[in-house]
Amino acid sequence: MKKYLLCIILMLLLLTGCWDQRMIKDSRLVYATAFDLTEDDKIKATSVMRGFIAAGESGGGTPRNELVKATGVNLRQTRMNIDHKIANTFNPSKNRVFLYSDEIAKQGLYPYLDIFYRDPESPLNSKLAITEGEAGRILDLRQKENTLIGEFIEELIISGEEHTVVPKIDVQTVCPVFFDEGKDPYIPFIQLNEDTENVSLKGVALFDDDKMTGSLDDDESKLLLILHNKTRKITRIIQKVHENEEQEIENYASLHVSESKSKMTVTPLSDGSITASFLVNMSVDLVEYPLDKLTSHKKVEQLNKKLSEGITKDANEVLDKLKEANSDPFGIGRELMAFHPEVWRKLDWKKEYPEIKMDAKVNVEITSHGIIN
């Protein structure tokens, strides 16, 4: 027994181990990267890396963004060219945000993501967004007030997710949707005001496969998420309910959606057409209504009706825009594939989708209108 244990110990001592490692001290960590196209169709990458301004003998320092740019025929070459411009090694494994210009998105986004799916060190949980105009211009700001630009954009997108303005999506979750015949992605869309240097959420970019084909503003994207049953903790709607009140502010009501449930029904009809209907039941808190006059149940019911009619109209306009963009974010095609395979096999879905009938019906019920009766 002792000889057996001795042999095991000797074997363990003689075994050699190997591992792959990258020392942080030898790397330059990237926090955000933007991609644009040059006039000769090369890729221009703009990356911000974390640096520090030394505080002197007391130690510590102030964080700052260091900006580096390079061009190449593909993303790997841009990385290599950036590597040639910096000390230590360019390391994007901690990248938190990827920005793509709408010019790239309209040509097709997947070729600009392919590199991340092949590299085991890629940051697949990174946020991604489409920018109106040149993406690198946003990173050129370096920081917004006291927040470094990379952190600012990430926090902007996360805030949009929590306020039901943009979907919760990242590099990993967008990939399978690109290759799904029966569903299309929608991705946060941000813009830069060149005059004020203000960066804001514009809404969402709509896609047909991996190509951007349209967009929705922030109010429309909120309705898209409501129809898609993807409301988050905070969902607020400003709705016009009157036309000719004495003050313009009295024509509007502000709502906080406390509960929302959407049901999609896809029906192939005997004449070969297809309908997709959405029924949304929504409970809301009335958080602003300057006109007041909610002293009776009848008045509340009248307001419920106006809100239901107004939001239903807006929701159907969103559905029309989805068909114009030939974008199927709800997975209507996936529904046909799963439950009506005999119908799906006969369809040329990309040609059929813009012609299907889509309609929404929203029922709004005010369950609270604050402490004022």
Tell me the three-class secondary structure of 19-60, residue by residue. Answer: CCCCCHHHEEEEEEEEEEECCCCCEEEEEEEEEEEECCCCCC
Q: Which long-range contacts (CB under 8 A, 24 or more apart) does 175-178 make?
A: 175/110, 175/113, 175/117, 178/109, 178/110, 178/209, 178/210
CA-angle at 230, arms to 226 and 234, nearest 5°:
80
Return the pLDDT at 52: 53
Domain-terminating residue out of 174, 208, 234: 234
> For position 313, which CATH number holds?
3.30.300.210
| 198, 252: one domain | no
pLDDT in tens, the chain (373 residues): 566 666 666 665 555 555 555 544 445 578 899 999 999 999 999 988 876 554 555 555 556 668 889 999 999 899 888 888 876 666 777 788 999 999 999 999 999 999 999 888 888 899 999 999 999 999 988 776 667 888 899 999 999 999 999 999 999 999 999 999 999 999 999 999 888 889 999 999 999 999 999 999 999 999 999 999 999 989 999 999 988 888 999 899 999 999 999 999 999 988 888 999 999 999 999 999 888 777 788 888 999 999 999 999 999 999 999 999 999 999 999 999 999 999 999 999 999 999 999 999 999 999 987 766 5
Domain-terminating residue out of 216, 234, 252: 234
pTM above 0.85, yes or no: yes
Q: Is 9 part of any domain?
A: no
| Burial (CB count within 10 angstroms: exposed 0-12, middle 13-18, buried 19+), residue 30 | buried
| 162, 78: one domain | yes
Return the pLDDT at 23: 47
| 246, 284: one domain | yes
Q: Is 73 part of any domain?
A: yes
Q: Is 279 part of any domain?
A: yes
CA-angle at 16, arms to 12 and 17, nearest 5°:
110
| 163, 311: one domain | no
| 190, 312: one domain | no
Helix, strand, or coil (residue 1):
coil
| 302, 368: one domain | yes
Residue whose pair of structure tokens reads 């007041």 in the numeric block:
292
| 277, 304: one domain | yes
Residue whose pair of structure tokens reads 């901690």 in the numeric block:
94
Q: Integer distance in angstroms from the first to the last C-alpha of the chain? A: 86
| 228, 275: one domain | no
| 188, 263: one domain | no
Per the structure, the count of domains in the chain is 2
Burial 346-363 (b: 16+ CB within 10 A, else e): ebebeeebeebebebebe
Residue 119: which region, alpha, beta or left (left: phi > 0; alpha: psi -120 to 50)? beta
Domain-terminating residue out of 234, 262, 297: 234
Domain containing 281 equals: 237-373
| 275, 217: one domain | no
| 76, 162: one domain | yes
| 123, 210: one domain | yes
DSSP-derived secondary structure letter, 289 = -
Helix, strand, or coil (residue 180):
coil
